[in-house]
Homo-oligomer: A and B are copies of this chain.
Amino acid sequence: MAKKIRIIDTTLRDGSHAIRHTYSPEQAGKIAAALAKAGAPTIECGHGDGISGSSCQYGFMKYDEYEVLQAVLDNAGDAKVGILLLPGIGTVEDLKRAHEMGAGLVRVATHVTEADVGEQHIKMARELGMEAIGFLMMSHMEPPEKILEQAKKFESYGASAVYMADSAGAMVPDDAAARVSYLKEHLSLPVGFHAHNNLGLAIGNSLAAVNAGADYIDGTLRGLGAGAGNAPHEVLTAVFHKLGIETGEDLYAIMDAAEDNIPELGVQMIIDKYALSIGYAGVYSSFFLHAKRAADRYGLDARDILIELGRLRTVGGQEDMILDVAYRLAQQKKEK
């Protein structure tokens, strides 16, 4: 029997970062309809930072998130519609509302070492009868053994699958394969992989993950997403079909969904020197703007700051360290 992979499309969630969360209900509905027509099984939508992400801190959505969600639900046909929830940003109440509207899936996203903070959300989702996936971000920062420990926590809360996200686009194929195969060996749940393209390896890493046993892979039309973007959904489908791996999708229709909807958004993903430095350094892409500002203030190259932040294993929430690092680098530069 041919291998079968489930591609979870997140054009309308992670892709939202690339257009600064400006999807109108009409645009979102049109993209959802094109994906559904192509047989895409799962469509994630919402603010790039998940439900309730629309805020001063993470950037406001141009349209009400529930209106956008409704438009996606109205156009998703047979596809399951999902949301992302980052504990601390989204709440159990948000989850209930999305469920009432018709969302069938939640991915609860935590830093790779902090699955604990997702316990109540996974449990509530299962209580509501939703599919609930644990989503471990920045998973390049920890070895397979540590990730398994966190995945087991998600399993104990009732998660139906566990994802590893290479949030910084910092992995190479061997990294992805090592983590996936270790989890597949020691965990009975399906395993997913979410790539970013900062090192040009979104497709290479996704394919390595599938070869190592991954069951679910994330994609976005034209690779729309944070940083250098995600794995382009239509390219994933083409590569998998070429290798005889089934997706249940119509390849031409997925290609058309990209071709007919993304150019009009006026954005094209690119690996510029900062996106590349983020992958090289292995830091959150949201660090970039802070690093750029700090670099301007202290007359530094933002790349040096990003690389030092990576060396220090800085994680989301430690944005206040960025100025400290910049100050120190500036001092060192003076002393030279």
Binding site for B on A (CB under 8 A): 172-173, 199-205, 207-208, 222, 231-232, 234-235, 238-239, 241-243, 251-252, 255-256, 258-259, 268, 270-273, 276-277, 279-280, 301, 303
Instruction: Point out the residues of chain B lying under 8 angstroms from A272, CB to CB.
Output: 259
- Residue among B200, B243, B259, B277 making CB contact with A273, cutoff 8 Å: B259
**Contact: B280 with A242, CB < 8 Å?**
yes
**Contact: B199 with A201, CB < 8 Å?**
no
**Contact: A256 with B273, CB < 8 Å?**
yes
A280 to B231, CA, bound (A): 16
What 10 A-B pairs have minimum CB-CB distances, sorted nearest first? A204-B204, A200-B203, A255-B273, A200-B235, A238-B280, A259-B273, A199-B239, A238-B276, A201-B203, A268-B268
A239 to B205, CA, bound (A): 13
A135 to B271, CA, bound (A): 28
**Contact: A231 with B199, CB < 8 Å?**
no
Least distance between A262 CB and chain B CB atoms (Å):
10
Closest to A256 in B: B273
From known contacts A201-B239, A243-B172, A276-B235, infer whether A301 and B252 are also in contact, taking CB-CB under 8 Å: yes
From known contacts A242-B199, A280-B242, infer whether A273 and B301 are also in contact, taking CB-CB under 8 Å: no
- Residue among B204, B232, B271 making CB contact with A271, cutoff 8 Å: B232
- Give the interface SS of chain A, mostly helix, strand, loop or mixed: helix
Closest to A260 in B: B273
A301 to B251, CA, bound (A): 13
**Contact: A273 with B207, CB < 8 Å?**
no
A238 to B197, CA, bound (A): 13
A200 to B223, CA, bound (A): 10
**Contact: B231 with A200, CB < 8 Å?**
yes
A144 to B277, CA, bound (A): 36
